[in-house]
Structure 1
Amino acid sequence: MWKRACDTAAKHIAEAKECYKQRWDKSHMEPNFREGDQVLVSTLNLRKNAVEVQFTEEIYRKHPVFPVSLVKPYFQTEEEKLPCRKKNPTPPEIVEVEYSPGPVKKIIKARKIRLNGKDQRQYLVRFKNQTADKDKWLAEDAIIDGNFHLRRFRASWRTEKSHQW
């Protein structure tokens, strides 16, 4: 009986090995790296299939063996291929600051926008003796008597919010 159990177990193990081999062969592709190719190495999920890498002097102390799945082909960028060719840096965006054309009647709305990579709060301002089509979005420091008008705007905004259910 012991012999028959061992034979059955060996048969099932052989079948499982064959099944795993077929599954692996169906989805596995051999890497197409050759000796001397430049590659990038990821350090996540280290596995059994390994490749030995020759490091540069800066990182020679690291272990040179990595799994094949972590190795990806390395392609040089245009700047690396042609180091003499320099890109012109993009000029910084110039933002014109608008100032109040006259005395402020009231602040109507607030918004937050991104200028030059920074968030900036702007306020929709209505001016005295002007129609609604002349309203402008201005920064806090561009509003004449800004502190006074902003206090009134924030107070009115809070009271409007408190009356809403």
Structure 2
Amino acid sequence: METQNIHMLRWQAAIQEYGGNITIAHKSGNIHKNADGLSKWALANTPQKLAWVPQEEHHIEGICVTDIGKLFFNKAKESYKLDKDYHILCKLLMKDCKDPSLSSKLDQIWKKAYDEGKFHLLCGILYHSTKHTCVMSLTDRTLINNISHECHNSVASGHLSEDKTLERVKTCSWKPY
């Protein structure tokens, strides 16, 4: 592939590493017009091209997937017992709760969310729901740090900025402050 823009060469080289295993479809946009050019040109990997990479005979392909294991859920359940508000919410949301006045012992932000019906208890894990999502509620700092690590520092995360990492963490866990 011939390039007219030297700044695009590194992207072309990165895409060529995938050889013939990907297909690029053009979707024109209003910004980043120079990046749109990548999807318009065929990415032939031939020795005549500047970014040519010799291909091995056997390709190894893989996907990195982060899976939340039983240990994580068990730690989350145990951490609920150590936090006053989480412990009260778990008691309130159990089917055999005999004391609905427990909600008055919750801190204000928790009581408001509980009164609005935003908490759910499923298999011992507390979930917080909003208009469009329902995410796990966490209290243990090490669990929150583990999720932050997976969303920021892991191989598959993309090493986002702090703000983007916090946004990504909000898609899988919730803490009121």
With the shorter chain as reference, the TM-score category is under 0.3
TM-score computed with the length of structure 2 as normaliser = 0.21
Please tell me whether Structure 1 or Structure 2 has the larger radius of gyration of its CA atoms: 1
Q: Which has the higher helix share?
A: 2
